[in-house]
Amino acid sequence: MSARTINLTLKIWRQRQGEKKGAFETFEARGISTDSSFLEMLDVVNENLTLSGREPVAFDHDCREGICGMCGAVVNGRAHGPEAGTTLCQLHMRHFQDGDTIAIEPFRARAFKVIKDLAVDRGAFDSIIQAGGFISVNTGSSPEANSTPVPQENAEAAMDAAACIGCGACVASCPNASAMLFLSAKVSQMALLPQGRPEAAKRVLGMLRKMDALGFGNCTNERECEADCPKEISIAHIARMNREFLKASFFSKEK
Amino acid sequence: MDWVIRTFSSSVGKKSLMAVTGLGFVGFLAGHLAGNFTAYLGPAALNGYATHLHELALVVKAAEIGLVLFACVHVTTGLLLFIQNLAARPERYSGKKWAGGRTLSSATMPYTGLLILSFVLYHLFEFRLNPPEPTALFAFVANYFKSPLNVTLYAAAMLVVALHVRHGLWSAFQTLGANHPKYMPGIEKLSILFGLLVAVGLGFIPIFFLFAVNHVAG
Amino acid sequence: MTLDSKVPGGPIEGKWRKHKAELKLVNPANKRKFTVIVVGTGLAGGSASASLAELGYNVKTFCIQDSPRRAHSIAAQGGINAAKNYPNDGDSVWRLFYDTVKGGDFRAREANVYRLAEVSNLIIDQCAAQGIPFAREYSGLLANRSFGGAQVSRTFYARGQTGQQLLLGAYGSLSRQIAAGKVTMFPRREMLDLVVVNGRARGIVVRNLVTGQMERHEAHAVVLATGGYGNVFFLSTNAMACNVTAAWRCHKKGAFFANPCFTQIHPTCIPVHGAFQSKLTLMSESLRNDGRVWVPKTKGDARKPKDIPESERDYYLERKYPSFGNLVPRDVASRNAKFMCDAGMGVGETGLAVYLDFADAIERDGKAVIEKKYGNLFAMYEKISGEDPYTTPMMIYPAIHYTMGGLWVDYDLMSTIPGLFVLGEANFSDHGANRLGASALMQGLADGYFVIPYTIGGYLAGGGLEPVSTDSAAFADAEKEAVARIEKLLSIGGKRTVDDFHKELGHLLWNDCGMGRTDAGLQNALDRIPAIRAEFWENVRVPGGRADFNQSLERAGRVADFLEFAELMVTDALARRESCGGHFNEAFQTPENEALRDDENFCHVAAWEYAGDKKAPVLHKEPLTFENVKLTQRSYK
What residues of chain A, 171 to 230, have a C-beta less than 8 Å from chain B?
Answer: 173, 175-178, 180, 208-209, 211-212, 215-228
C249 vs C478: CA distance, rounded Å: 10
How high does pLDDT run on average in chain C? 95
Final residue before a domain boundary, out of C342, C374, C400: C400
Mean pLDDT on C576-605: 94
* CA-based nearest residue in chain C for residue A116: C549
Pick A33's closest partner by Cβ from C75, C276, C387: C276
H or E element that contains A8: strand A5-14
Name the domain boundary from C339, C368, C400.
Answer: C400
Query: For the segment A24-48, what is each residue's pLDDT rounded down to a tens digit?
Result: 999 999 999 999 999 999 999 999 9
Rg of chain B (C-alpha set): 19
Which tens digits make up the pLDDT trace of C193-226?
Answer: 999 999 999 999 999 999 999 999 999 999 999 9
Handedness of CA C526, C532, C536, C541 (dihedral sign): negative
User: Could you give the CA distance from residue C245 to residue C262 in angstroms, rounded to a whole number?
Assistant: 18
Q: Are residues A85 and A127 in the same domain?
A: no
pLDDT of amino acid C235: 94
* Chain A residues with CB-CB distance to B175 below 8 A: 219, 221, 239, 242
Q: Which range of residues forms the domain containing residue A217?
A: 123-251
Class of B11-90+103-217 per CATH? mainly alpha
Q: Does a structural domain hold residue C347?
A: yes
Chain C residue with minimum CA distance to A84? C383
In whole angstroms, how far apart are CA C586 and each of C528, C539, C592? 21, 35, 12
Contact B95 A222 (CB under 8 A): no
Chain A CB contacts of B11 under 8 Å are: 178, 180, 208, 211-212, 216-219
**Sequence-distant (≥ 6) Cβ neighbours of residue B37 within 8 angstroms:** B201
Round to whole Å and give the CA distance between C279 and C327. 25
Mean pLDDT of chain A: 96
Cβ–Cβ gap A208/B12 under 8 Å: yes
In terms of domains, do C386 and C495 share one?
no
Closest Cβ–Cβ partner in A35, A129, A134 for C274: A35
Distance of CA C48 to the CA centre of its chain: 17
Specify the pTM. 0.96
Domain boundary among A72, A88, A116: A116
Q: Which chains have 3 or more CB–CB distances shorter than 8 Å to chain A? A: B, C
Which CATH number covers residue A205? 1.10.1060.10
C residues 438-467 closer than 8 Å to A (CB): 449-450, 453
Quote the strand ranges of A80-196, DSSP E: 101-105, 113-116, 119-121
Residues C555-573 pLDDT 10s? 999 999 999 999 999 999 9
Asked which of A116, A131, A159 is the last residue of a domain, the reply is: A116
Residue C390 in any domain: the answer is: yes
- Residue count of chain C, please give it: 637
Residue A238 reports pLDDT greater than 60: yes
Strand duo C80-81 + C58-62: pairing: unpaired
Q: What is the dihedral of CA A157, A162, A166, A172, to 10 degrees?
A: 0
Question: CA nearest C286: which of C87, C458, C76?
Answer: C76
Distance from CA of B162 to the nearest CA of A (A): 17
Statement to judge: residues A106 and A144 lie in one domain? no
Query: For residue C269, what is the enclosing H or E element?
Result: strand C263-269
- Asked whether C and B share 3 or more beta-carbon pairs under 8 angstroms, the answer is no
Determine which helix (DSSP H) or strand (DSSP E) holds C619, and give its type and residue range.
strand C618-623
User: What's the CATH number where C339 sits?
Assistant: 3.90.700.10
CB burial class (10 A; 0-12, 13-18, 19+) of residue C616?
A: exposed
Q: How far apart are the first and last CA of chain A?
A: 58
* Distance linking the first and last C-alpha atoms of chain B: 62
Contact: B101, A103; criterion CB under 8 Å: no
The pLDDT value recorded for residue C347 is 94
* Judgement on whether residues C393 and C516 belong to the same structural domain of the protein: no
CB contact under 8 A, A159 and C69: no
Backbone angles phi, psi at B167, to 5 degrees: -90, -40
> Across the interface, do C495 and A55 touch by the CB < 8 Å criterion?
no
Query: pLDDT, tens digit, for every residue of C98-110?
Result: 999 999 999 999 9
Domain count, chain A: 2
- Reported as a single tens digit per residue, the pLDDT across C50-93 is 999 999 999 999 999 999 999 999 999 889 999 999 999 999 99
Do A146 and A240 have their domain in common?
Answer: yes
**Secondary structure letter of residue C145 according to DSSP:** B
User: Exposed/middle/buried for C20, CB within 10 Å: 0-12, 13-18, 19+?
Assistant: middle
Identify the domain containing residue C297 by its residue range: 267-400
Q: Does A19 touch chain C (CB under 8 A)?
A: no
Are residues A98 and A27 both part of a single domain? yes
Distance from CA of B28 to the nearest CA of A (A): 22
Tell me C69's DSSP state: G
Structure confidence at residue A2 (pLDDT): 60
Which residues of C are annotated as catalytic?
330
Q: Identify which of A36, A134, A135 has the shortest CB distance to residue C274.
A: A36
Single-letter residue type at B80: L
- The alpha-carbon gap from A219 to the nearest alpha carbon of chain C, in Å, equals 25
CATH number, domain at C567? 1.20.58.100
Q: Given this model, what pLDDT does residue A1 score? A: 45
Q: What is the mean pLDDT of residues C217-236?
A: 97
User: Span A69-97, mean pLDDT?
Assistant: 96
Residues of B in contact with A105 (CB under 8 A): 93-94
Q: Tell me what pLDDT residue C428 has.
A: 96
- Tell me how far apart the alpha carbons of residues B218 and C7 are, in angstroms, rounded to a whole number: 108
- What is residue C207's predicted lDDT score, i.e. its pLDDT? 98
- What is the residue-wise DSSP string for C401-454? EEE--EE---TTSB-SSTTEEE-GGGB--S-TTSPPTT-HHHHHHIIIIIIHHH
User: Per residue in A25-63, is it b (16+ CB within 10 Å) or e — as a string?
Assistant: eebebeebbbbbbbbbbbbbbbbbbbeeeebbbbbbbbb
Q: Is the minimum CB–CB distance between A135 and chain B shorter than 8 Å?
A: no
Of C207, C183, C112, nearest in space to C423 by CA? C112
Model-level ipTM above the cut of 0.95:
yes
Strands C263-269 and C354-357, how do they pair?
unpaired
Statement to judge: residues C383 and C481 lie in one domain: no
Residue in B10, B94, B174 closest to A235 by CB:
B174
Specify the pLDDT at position B217: 55
Point out the domain boundary residue: C370, C400, C430.
Answer: C400
Kindly give, in sequence order, each residue whose CB lies less than 8 Å from that of residue B59, ignoring residues fewer than 6 positions away.
Answer: none
User: How far is the C-alpha of C496 from the C-alpha of A50, rounded, in Å?
Assistant: 9
Which residues in C164-262 belong to E strands, given as ranges? 183-186, 189-197, 200-208, 214-218, 221-224, 257-258
The answer to whether the CB atoms of C126 and A140 lie below 8 A apart is yes
By C-alpha distance, which of C502, C561, C504, C485 is closest to C226? C561
- Rounded Cα gap, residues A190 and B196, in angstroms: 39
Q: How far apart are the first and last CA of chain C?
A: 42
Q: Is the pLDDT of residue C372 over 90?
A: no
Same-domain check for residues A52 and A104: yes
Nearest to C175 among A64, A130, A193 (CB): A130
Q: Is C110 within the bounds of a domain?
A: no
Question: Domain residues of chain B, as ranges?
Answer: 11-90+103-217
Check A217 against B184: CB less than 8 A apart: no
Say how many CB pairs under 8 Å bridge A and C: 235
Give the domain-ending residue among A99, A116, A133: A116
The alpha helices in A62-179, defined as continuous H runs, are: 123-130, 152-162, 169-173
Residue range C376-410, pLDDT digits in tens: 889 889 988 889 999 999 999 999 999 999 999 99
Q: Do C276 and C357 share a structural domain?
A: yes
Closest Cβ opposite residue C552 in set A40, A56, A83: A56
Give the β-pairing of C58-62 and C35-39. parallel
**Model confidence pLDDT, tens digit, residues C524-563:** 999 999 999 999 999 999 999 999 999 999 999 999 999 9
Count of domains in chain C?
2
Task: Provide the CA A52 distance to its chain's centre, in angstroms.
Answer: 33
CB contact under 8 Å between B88 and A215, yes or no, is: yes
For residues A223 and A130, state if they share a domain. Answer: yes
Nearest-CA distance A88 → chain B (Å): 15
What is each CA distance from A183 to A188, A190, A211, B81, in whole angstroms?
A: 8, 11, 8, 19
Fill in the amino acid letter for C268: T
Q: Residues in chain B with pLDDT < 50? A: 218
For chain A, say whether C126 makes contact (Cβ under 8 Å).
yes
In a shared domain, residues A72 and A141: no
What residues in C contact A86, CB-CB < 8 Å? 383
- Which helix (H) or strand (E) segment is C108 a member of? none
Contact map slice: A 214-253 vs C, CB within 8 A: none
C225 falls within a domain: no
Beta strands in chain B (DSSP E): none
All residues at 6 or more sequence positions from C210 whose CB lies less than 8 Å from its CB, including other chains: A17, A115, C188, C549
Give the model's pLDDT for residue C78: 84
Same domain, yes or no, for A38 and A89?
yes
Helix (H, G, I), strand (E, B) or coil at C125: helix
